[in-house]
Homo-oligomer: A and B are copies of this chain.
Amino acid sequence: MVHPAEDVRPPTMADVAREAGVSHQTVSRVLSGHPNVRAATREQVTLAIERLGYRRNSAARALVTRRTRTLGVIAVNTALYGPASTLTGLEEAAREEGYLVSTVSLRTGEAQGLKDAIDHLASWGVEGVVAITPQRSHVQALAELDAPFPVVTVEGGHQLDLPGVSLDQELGARMVTEHLLAAGHGTVWHVAGPEDWLESEARTAGWRAVLEESGIRPPRVLTGDWSPLSGYRAGQELAGLALARRGTTPVTAVFVANDQMALGVLRALREGGIRTPAQVAVAGFDDIPEAEYFPPPLTTVRQDFAAIGRRSIGLLVDHIEGRARTAEHLLVEPQLIMRASTRPPHEA
């Protein structure tokens, strides 16, 4: 069976020109909104375009303008709430700016994978890349890669000379810690995220700073790997300490570096017979949608992912279009969300 329709090529600018009785250049002018085209001519062309269902060929355009108007996004762990939300924000912002955005998700942040991703995107002629690289080693690898186009990091810290956008993690951690101290707790314990993660370093730093400024010696830091399970383990340890009640600083408040680990901590405390928040207050970070329904609803820090996406695309486009040359770093403000998990007992 023959499918003649498959051999019909889509109409070209020349077809439209013929249909409208003008030159292809006039069609081009109409399409790119050039002012010097008579209204009547413009009308003719527009009509012809509609009649033929014409569409500009982006490859031909890219070839002659040397602009693909394509951006790449490289992200690790895109199934997590944070990266996934950032991705949406990025994508929308890019579309508004008239760019196509192509995402590469990596399972792990190995240097080789990053290199391959950059390569894949480069071979498609992307004009710039946003990299969601929350681990120090990623950023390091990225900086050494020396990509042939501008790269903007998200949550990439600002120690290297790559431009980037981050949430003010340290401020978020300060807000939580201050909130707990204000509620009357003598100190605040901390379950940190894994080493090498910039977010986890910054959150720990903010927590530590507040305690030290209040003249409190920070207790030993417990460490997890962001997973509920690791939080559960840390929670068991904390439950033990809370019950033992001797030798160490009393455990009455815990700032957990993300909501998922906080879920594990809550479970461990509950299993240890410890009531939250009556005996131990718990706070998280991220405000995942489930946080509001944890037992009890979790106090946490919300990140404005859409804003992060918008600003990083803005920064990238500035670099591409030559409006920015410096390794600028933007910070987005976090928001403290107070819920039952840190409510002082007398208010409960």
Task: Give me the interface of A with B, judged by CB distance under 8 Å.
Answer: 9-10, 55-60, 62-63, 66, 68, 70, 78-79, 81, 84-85, 87-88, 91-92, 95, 100-105, 107, 120, 122-125, 148, 227-229, 231-232, 260, 263-264, 266-267, 270, 289-290, 292-293, 295
Contact = CB atoms under 8 A, between A and B. Distances in A.
Contact of A63 (B60, B107, B267): B60
B88 A79 contact: yes
A120 B55 CA distance: 11
B55 A123 contact: yes
B88 A78 contact: yes
Contacts of A78: 84, 87-88
B289 A267 contact: no
Contact of A58 (B105, B125, B289): B125
Q: How many copies does the complex hold?
A: 2
Contacts of A10: 148
A120 B95 contact: yes
A59 B55 contact: no
A77 B107 CA distance: 21
B104 A91 contact: yes
Nearest to A1: B325
Nearest to A81: B79
A210 to B, nearest CB: 28
Nearest to A266: B295
Contacts of A232: 293
Q: Which of A9, A10, A58, A79 has the most CB of B within 10 A?
A: A79
Q: Which of A87, A91, A95, A100 has the most CB of B within 10 A?
A: A100
Given A229-B293, A267-B295, 20 more contacts: A55-B122, A56-B123, A58-B68, A58-B125, A59-B60, A59-B125, A70-B102, A78-B84, A78-B88, A87-B103, A95-B120, A100-B124, A101-B103, A102-B102, A228-B292, A228-B293, A260-B289, A260-B290, A263-B290, A267-B293
A55 B121 CA distance: 12
A142 to B, nearest CB: 19
B55 A63 contact: no
Contacts of A58: 68, 123-125
Contacts of A231: 293
Contacts of A267: 293, 295
Nearest to A102: B102
A145 to B, nearest CB: 14
Contacts of A263: 290, 293
10 contacts: A56-B123, A58-B68, A58-B123, A58-B124, A78-B84, A79-B84, A228-B293, A229-B293, A260-B289, A263-B290
A270 B60 CA distance: 63
B91 A105 contact: yes
A70 B62 CA distance: 14
A123 B56 CA distance: 7
A253 to B, nearest CB: 21
Contacts of A85: 79
Contacts of A88: 78-79, 105, 107
A57 B125 contact: yes
A55 B68 CA distance: 15
Contact of A92 (B105, B228, B290): B105
A268 to B, nearest CB: 10
